[in-house]
Amino acid sequence: MSKYTPVIGLEVHVELKTNSKMFCSCSADYFGQKPNTHTCPVCLGLPGALPVPNKKAIEWCVMIGLALNCDIPLFSKFDRKNYFYPDLSKGYQISQYDKPFCQKGFIELSNGKKIGITRVHMEEDTGKLIHEGNSSLIDFNRSGVPLVEIVTEPDFQTAEEVKEYLQKLQQIVRYLGVSNADMEKGEMRLEPNISLRELKTQNSKLKTELPSYKVEVKNINSFGFVGKAIEYEIKRQQEILEKGQTPIQETRGFVEKNSSTVSQRVKEEASDYRYFPEPDIPPIRWTNEDLATIECLIPELPFYKLFRFQSGYGLSVYDSEILTKTRDLADYFEEAMTIGRKHELTAKQIANYIINKKIDINIILPAKLIEEIIKTTKKTDVNEEKLAKIIEKVINENQNAVQDYKKGKETVIMFLVGRVMRQFKEKIDAERIKAVLTAKLK
């Protein structure tokens, strides 16, 4: 058993799908476009260009915060985060430092553990470096796209907890309709902070203080890769600690081909960024009425919908989790239910058909789905004489099963029911067959 316990926090960047960028009118639909065609003096950082905040992006950031159970301060402001990097054309990023839009929230995991959310703040995305041979090129189409950063407390202890949190977070922002959170397109980027804490002091008391260092792994685009990065770092850091050394506080990158991490640079402190209030954007002041208006835009969230599908429709946890995985699928099921009730179909019948048949909800409309279910569940009246002959035949051909049933193995009756139903091309009532068989075998 290891004498260390992992201390893990997360920073997640989510691109918002607004029509325009964060501080200019350039199109934010940059993915797959010709490089440097969605730019202007503002997002290129040219002298004299002034930023104008995107109201929709700010409201969406607050929506995310409310959905994550955050407090929303009535006063917020933007700040300049100063650092030099080639993909940051003006030498600073407009972000938020000490007055974020949202703070002190949480997401609850399936085991009841609450992962604290320190802050949810708004910033602009950077450009993208493209490495070709010995050259590095810069595409500024992404520069200035609205970016929400969601920072947790160091509350995770396992990669499994991290994965569940990320899946819930992705589901929430998709339900809100503010981001597609497509990791392959870089719309959701994951950065775990990992360190190890010795379990006990020399006096056998449990340690509770945070380690004196942390290692950040940057820009991971897969839940699986996050898990592998965390597992690699736990092993690497443990080996260093067991030598009596302390891991370097640094930023590392994830190497997909061998699931390892490599050093990129010594990790900066907040003071290294020389934050100061953004002089070109006035502070943001909310009223309680403003926040109430934004809160009204939030749809029913996955957790509540999952509970309602179980309590209201009587569905199992398994079925409810599948049907509420996306907002579109949940809405599709409920529309089908509205139509299905008129035909006395149950929620279980509709749920089973959607799940088992893997229905493409973009092709089959709910009304057509109900037609198909009615057709498949419609039972044909059976000619009693024909049924009696077939049952007699099945009994004669399956004497071992008959004897097992007579000895008390009552479940065998369903085997015989299945044998009878195979003799009919049309769909017939299994309960009717079971009743006749039971009476015959007494």
Confidence at residue 201, expressed as pLDDT on a 0 to 100 scale:
60
* Contact status, residue 122 vs residue 4, Cβ threshold 8 Å: no
| CA nearest neighbour of 181 among 165, 166, 159, 199 | 166
| CA nearest neighbour of 368 among 348, 340, 391 | 340
Neighbours of 58 (CB within 10 A): 20
Confidence at residue 95, expressed as pLDDT on a 0 to 100 scale:
97
CA torsion through residues 312, 317, 322, 327, sign:
positive
Report the side by side order of strands in the sheet with 79-82: 92-95, 79-82, 276-277
Radius of gyration of the chain (CA): 30
Place of tokens 């940051």: 88
Q: How many CA atoms lie within 13 A of 111 on its CB side?
A: 8
- Mind listing the pLDDT tens digit of every residue in the chain (442 residues)? 578 899 999 999 999 999 999 999 999 999 999 999 999 999 999 999 999 999 999 999 999 999 999 999 999 999 999 988 888 989 999 999 999 999 999 999 999 999 999 999 999 999 998 888 888 899 999 999 999 999 999 999 999 999 999 999 999 999 999 999 999 999 999 999 999 998 866 555 666 788 989 999 998 999 999 999 999 999 999 999 999 999 999 999 999 999 999 999 887 677 788 999 999 999 999 999 999 999 999 999 999 999 999 999 999 999 999 999 999 999 999 999 999 999 999 999 999 999 999 999 999 999 999 999 988 876 666 677 788 888 888 888 888 888 888 888 888 888 888 888 888 767 777 777 888 888 888 7
Confidence at residue 378, expressed as pLDDT on a 0 to 100 scale:
67
Confidence at residue 386, expressed as pLDDT on a 0 to 100 scale:
80
The continuous run of DSSP H or E covering 236 comes out as helix 223-242
| CA nearest neighbour of 25 among 48, 46, 50 | 50
Confidence at residue 187, expressed as pLDDT on a 0 to 100 scale:
95
| CA nearest neighbour of 94 among 284, 344, 319, 241 | 284
Residue 279: both structure tokens together: 């002089």
DSSP one-letter code for 72: -
Confidence at residue 390, expressed as pLDDT on a 0 to 100 scale:
86
Tell me the C-alpha distance between 68 and 78, whole Å. Answer: 21
Residue 15 backbone phi and psi in degrees, to 5: -80, 130
Tell me the residue ranges of DSSP E strands in 267-340: 276-277, 284-285
